[in-house]
């Protein structure tokens, strides 16, 4: 095809534009050269604890620390203890209730004080006691018996029998009228004979609450294992991403050094040197961002384990170790998981809640039924005139009572209690259906997540080694001068992306396997929570991919004659799509 005048003019304009861009790039590089040269040195970060040895931490150690430090687990344990206390309270109504009392009463003023006052009396003084000595038998003379009766009357009126038990008078010091001191020792007991179902309902509700608390503890422990596993592998993944970013920076720095040497001997152009310098500058933000993401991942892990933020950690479990598992987790269960809805912890808790509310309904209905109770009270009382009483001063008092009670009119309270209890039962049943639906959906989502993770992991197998081999070939080709720097940059980006995909796939597979193994005991994950978790998992990878794409687009001038447009990150030189996260 013969080039026309318009074509030649357009080509000349493009060349002028490229020349201007090169001049501008040269000026920018001249300004940024000191920073670029400094960036070629190993990137270090000020750390006041750099001299402190890092604490080795495996996945099993992390889970053990979290189980001991977790406040959520402690709260769940307290809930079990509280539920056990409720069981004791409910069952106590089945057994006799026995209590003892001891009382002392000091009377400061009494209405009976005048009845026993010692005011002067005009009555003649009676004979000396005891008064019953003046009572004669029927064979005595009539005069003797009359005189004896008179003396007896005079003796009792004068008060001689008030302190003598052998007399026939009343000793008021024994009954407490006007006594200054009063002592009472008592023992009382009661036994429910019939409660109309109230005790049965309370025990049913208490037992269901205790079982629900144990299920909640198991669920919180399982969720904690999953959270720690996810946070641990996030930190391990951030280590891997930082290593990949630093390795890519080292490759760009080596390329820059080689290009500078070739430019000195005249084997390469200034344009290739500028592109190598720009590649190094573009890789610096990727490394800095990977360092920041690693720091955040480690802070989250330390917070979950309740460790000091200043403590340095050295993770010993690799993100690519497919045999690692938290304590108490059998990864073999992920191959044949228990996805039965009725076995899920939220469903079991909801079922226990229904049982507890039915027990409360039974309690509300029992309020209309009469109750029968047997009670007894035994006491010994003493009223000494002064000081402490002796054993002989105590007199017994013992009663036995059989009582019944039933409501006649309560103003609608019982009907209201019944309505509330019935509404609570319906609410609990509705929540049970919601838990079943959510558990069924969550199980299928977990299965789908595992299949996706397995497929991604299998697809990434071998890609990293192929990308590494392709980069080695491209590096040799560039050194021999049979390929361009653009081809080398493209293969380097593909290698970095393949390594990132492999690390991310390993992390996702490990977390998905642990989640499926713990599925029966895990709480139901909402869709929003799942999407947020997925976003957090892939955020680092997406950011790294965007940085690499930006670097690839920056190092290639659009429309350069004799060069093809590079493929996007994650696409092989043959045009086959790469593995996306």
pLDDT of the residue at 49: 55
Q: Are 375 and 188 in contact (CB under 8 A)?
A: yes
pLDDT tens digits, one per residue of 41-88:
444 444 445 567 889 999 999 999 999 989 999 999 999 999 999 999
What's the pLDDT tens digit per position in 227-240? 999 999 999 999 99
CA separation, residue 521 to residues 212, 218, 339, 437, 445 (Å): 12, 6, 11, 16, 16
How many other CB atoms are found less than 10 A from the CB of residue 376? 16
Query: Is the pTM higher than 0.85?
Result: no
More confident residue, 44 or 478: 478
pLDDT on residue 24:
41
Please give the structure tokens belonging to residue 308.
Answer: 């000091």
Say which range, 137-151, 169-183, 493-507, has the weakest mean pLDDT: 169-183
Give strand ranges (E) for 206-317: 313-315
Q: What tokens were used for 471?
A: 């980069």
| Residue-range domains of the chain with CATH | 19-88+201-321+336-353+420-555 (1.20.1600.10)
Q: How far apart are CA 207 and CA 90, in angstroms?
A: 9
427-475 residue pLDDT tens = 999 999 999 999 999 999 999 999 999 999 998 888 888 888 998 898 8
Q: How far apart are CA 301 and CA 62, in angstroms?
A: 9
pLDDT tens for 11-26 read 344 344 434 443 344 4
- Radius of gyration, alpha carbons of the chain: 47
pLDDT of residue 327: 87
Q: For residue 236, how many other CB atoms are within 10 A of its CB? A: 25
């Amino acid at each position: 095809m013969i080039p026309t005048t318009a074509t030649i003019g357009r080509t000349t304009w493009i060349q002028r534009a490229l020349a201007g861009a090169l001049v501008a790039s040269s000026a920018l590089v001249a300004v940024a050269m000191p920073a670029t040269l400094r960036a070629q040195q190993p990137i270090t970060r000020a750390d006041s604890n750099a001299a402190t040895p890092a604490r080795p931490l495996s996945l099993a150690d992390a889970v053990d620390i979290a189980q001991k430090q977790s406040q959520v687990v402690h709260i769940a344990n307290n809930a079990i203890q509280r539920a056990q206390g409720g069981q004791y309270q409910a069952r106590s109504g089945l057994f006799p209730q026995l209590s003892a009392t001891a009382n002392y009463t000091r009377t400061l003023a009494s209405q009976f004080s005048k009845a026993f006052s010692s005011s002067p009396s005009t009555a003649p003084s009676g004979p000396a006691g005891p008064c019953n000595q003046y009572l004669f038998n029927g064979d005595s003379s009539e005069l003797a018996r009359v005189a004896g009766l008179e003396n007896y009357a005079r003796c009792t009126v004068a008060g001689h029998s008030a302190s003598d038990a052998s007399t026939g008078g009343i000793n008021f010091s024994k009954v407490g009228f006007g006594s200054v001191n009063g002592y009472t020792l008592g023992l009382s007991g009661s036994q429910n004979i019939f409660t109309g179902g109230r005790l049965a309902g309370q025990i049913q509700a208490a037992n269901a609450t205790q079982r629900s608390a144990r299920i909640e503890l198991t669920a919180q422990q399982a969720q904690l294992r999953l959270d720690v596993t996810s946070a641990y592998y996030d930190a391990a993944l951030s280590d891997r991403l930082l290593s990949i970013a630093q390795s890519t920076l080292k490759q760009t720095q080596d390329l820059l050094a080689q290009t500078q040497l070739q430019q000195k001997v005249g084997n390469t152009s200034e344009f290739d040197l500028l592109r190598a310098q720009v590649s190094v500058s573009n890789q610096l933000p990727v490394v800095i961002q990977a360092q920041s993401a690693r720091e955040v991942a480690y802070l989250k892990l330390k917070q979950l384990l309740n460790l000091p933020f200043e403590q340095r950690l050295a993770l010993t479990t690799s993100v690519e170790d497919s045999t690692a598992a938290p304590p108490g987790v059998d990864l073999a269960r992920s191959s044949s998981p228990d996805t039965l809805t009725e076995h899920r912890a939220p469903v079991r808790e909801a079922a226990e809640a229904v049982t507890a509310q039915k027990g409360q309904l039974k309690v509300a209905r029992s309020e209309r039924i009469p109750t029968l109770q047997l009670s007894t009270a035994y006491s010994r009382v003493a009223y000494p005139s002064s000081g402490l009483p002796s054993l002989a001063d105590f007199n017994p008092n013992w009663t036995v009572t059989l009582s019944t009670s039933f409501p006649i009119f309560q103003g609608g309270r019982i009907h209201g209690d019944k309505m509330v209890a019935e509404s609570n039962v319906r609410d609990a049943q509705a929540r049970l259906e919601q838990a079943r639906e959510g558990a069924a959906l969550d199980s299928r989502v977990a299965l789908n997540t595992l299949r996706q993770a397995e497929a991604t992991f299998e697809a990434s197998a071998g890609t990293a080694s192929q990308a590494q081999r392709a980069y080695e070939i491209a590096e040799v080709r560039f050194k021999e001068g049979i390929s361009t720097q653009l081809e080398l940059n493209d293969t380097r980006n593909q290698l970095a992306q393949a390594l990132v995909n492999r690390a991310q796939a390993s992390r996702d597979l490990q977390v998905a396997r642990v989640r499926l193994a713990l599925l029966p005991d895990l709480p139901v994950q909402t869709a929003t929570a799942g999407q947020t978790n997925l976003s957090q998992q892939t955020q680092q990878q997406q950011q790294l991919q965007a940085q690499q794409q930006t670097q690839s687009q920056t190092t290639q001038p659009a429309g350069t004659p004799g060069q093809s447009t590079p493929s996007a990150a994650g696409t092989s030189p043959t045009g086959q799509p790469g593995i996306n996260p």
